[in-house]
Amino acid sequence: MAMPADRFIPRVVIVPARDEDIPAISSIYAHHVRHGLASFETEPPTLKEMSRRRAELRANGFAYLAAFFDDRLVGYAYAGPYRERRAYRFTVEDSIYVDPGFLGLGIGRMLLYALLHESELRGFRRMIAVIGDSANEASIKLHARCGFAMAGTLRSVGLKHGRWVDCVLMQRSLGEENQTSP
């Protein structure tokens, strides 16, 4: 899969996230939990919990990536199970978080393209984006630019920061999608 070269910071490198990246990942996520609507968590998880979550995803064959600008971790992304029931095993859900000081620079797109590629290599056939807040135009546009199609909006399914929040569902095929049996 070719990644468009426009608007990307040339010194950003995407690599698998390591144990030592968890403090920076936790800090980025904590900011989004406290101040945003992308995550429906209301309290940031502990470092131990973030480490446990990463280990569980990796143990189950999912990609967990980190974006570095020079030596600074500026974003991360991972794929996880869309739903727990066995029939969903070839469908993943993406999560992407970028350091607030690096938003709008193409890092989210770099992470998403890398995550799509890694998920295809692992045999997954569909990726679902569950976007917190129907007003989250940046995430909706990012996913659309990366080939995701609108699947629907779940109205007022979360209550955060004193208001009801929607979830936007988008989807994208991976690899051979449903053209062949896995």
Q: What is the mean pLDDT of each run of 10 residues along the chain (182 residues)?
A: 50 96 98 97 98 98 96 97 96 98 95 98 97 96 98 97 97 90 78
Q: Assess if residue 1 is contained within a domain.
A: no
H or E stretch at 10: none
Strands 126-132 and 91-98: parallel
Q: Could you give the CA distance from residue 161 to residue 44 in angstroms, rounded to a whole number? A: 14
Q: Assess if residue 112 is contained within a domain.
A: yes
Q: Could you give the CA distance from residue 8 to residue 19 in angstroms, rounded to a whole number? A: 26
Q: Assess if residue 6 is contained within a domain.
A: no
Q: Could you give the CA distance from residue 171 to residue 56 in angstroms, rounded to a whole number? A: 24
87: tokens are 């029939």
Q: Could you give the CA distance from residue 80 to residue 94 in angstroms, rounded to a whole number? A: 7
Tokens 């990536």 belong to which residue? Answer: 65
Q: Which amino acid is at 135?
A: A
> Could you tell me the pTM of the whole model?
0.92
149: tokens are 């199609």
Burial class (CB in 10 A: 0-12, 13-18, 19+), 147: middle
Q: Assess if residue 20 is contained within a domain.
A: yes
Q: How many of the other CB atoms lie within 10 Å of CB of 2?
A: 5
CATH number, domain with residue 20: 3.40.630.30
Q: Assess if residue 5 is contained within a domain.
A: no
Beta partners for residue 14, in sequence order: 67
User: What's the number of CA atoms in the CB half-sphere (13 Å) around residue 106?
Assistant: 13
Q: How far is CA 52 from CA 8, 27, 31, 73, in A?
A: 31, 16, 19, 19
Q: Assess if residue 4 is contained within a domain.
A: no
Q: Assess if residue 182 is contained within a domain.
A: no
Q: Assess if residue 180 is contained within a domain.
A: no
In the prediction, which pLDDT does 17 show? Answer: 98
Domains identified in the chain, total number: 1
Range(s) of the domain holding residue 70 = 12-173
